[in-house]
Amino acid sequence: MRRLPYLASLLLAASCAGAPAPSLPATLQDAGQNQSDTAIAAWQLPPPTVLGGKRPAQLYLPKAYNGSQALPVVLALAGYDNTSADLDEWLQLHQRVESDGFALILADGLTDTAGAPYWNATDTCCDYDDSGVDDVGYLFGLLDELAAKVHTNPKRVTVLGHSAGGFMAYRLACERADRIAAVVSLAGSGFSDAKACVPSAAVSVLQVHGLLDDVMPFAGDDEAPGALEMLKRWGGYAGCDLDSWQAQTAKLAVVKGTAADQATVLHYAQGCLPGVAVELWRLPHADHYPSFTKAFAELAVGWALQKAR
């Protein structure tokens, strides 16, 4: 099953409002107060805005970044037949960089013979031309390049992806869990065969999924496991008590609509390794392209930035 493109009508309009003078969050300001001038000189200034060479990826940093703060990193991956610019316009990710103080990489898959950007994530998603491109190597190469040029925190790397990008986020965690603190998957999934993923460490996982999704069904299909199966797998990797799955009473307001449309938060409440969380935001009336409010990016990115390995 091909993971279909965004509906243009669901893309959120970019804000044209002015912004106050940039400043780093207090936590990052504090982290840099005792750094010497020689420490700042160790990093490239001015920092780059593009990574990846012939396969470029857009980089956003806080405007006040001066090399003294070790920034957490968010690597964002779009779904099949979509670009990182589409994903950013939908979720408004780069607008969070200033307020939350992190480095954002917007990476794109290669384009297939149908003209669609794709990721070679699993055996079913989404290298339909069987190109065999090494997207794992490419994406970790971006993280390596960033770390060589910008003062980042290697213990606080999040991969956020939608649909095929969610598949790719899980794939990176399968391959190098020692380098990933958190995965945020919007309607993503993984290998049909659980034995194809043997992570070397526990990773925090947030799965966001609509019950009305008919592209990557919540319950899964013959090409990929459903949301609950993916969380069960990653809960197991984290040592969670798989019988401790429970829902929070209060709903999370992250989509346009009524209170009945909002997310139910479920998680493993016991047994998970310290600092590791495995969580689901279940959207009862959402399809593959939820109509998120600005609060979604604030809460989802905020959730991820609290995680460290």
Q: Is 114 exposed, middle or buried (0-12, 13-18, 19+ CB in 10 A)?
A: exposed
The pLDDT assigned to 272 comes to: 98
CATH of domain 33-305: 3.40.50.1820
What is the rounded average pLDDT for all residues in the chain?
90
**pTM score over 0.85:** yes
Which residue, 174, 160, 163, 164, is CA-closest to 126?
Answer: 164
DSSP structure class, residue 20: P
Count of helices and strands (H, E) across the chain: 8, 12
If phi over 0 gives left and psi between -120 and 50 gives alpha, with beta otherwise, what is residue 134? beta
pLDDT band at 25 (very low <50, low <70, confident <90, very high): low
Cα–Cα distance measured from residue 309 to residue 182, given in angstroms and rounded to the nearest whole number? 8
Would you state the structure tokens that stand for residue 116, as one six-digit string? 């669609």
pLDDT in the model for residue 44: 84
pLDDT at 37: 43
pLDDT at res. 43: 86
State the Cα–Cα distance between residues 207 and 184, nearest whole angstrom: 6
Q: What would the pLDDT profile of 201-254 be if each residue is shown by its tens digit?
A: 999 999 999 999 999 999 999 999 999 999 999 999 999 999 999 999 999 999
Residue 4 reports pLDDT greater than 80 = no
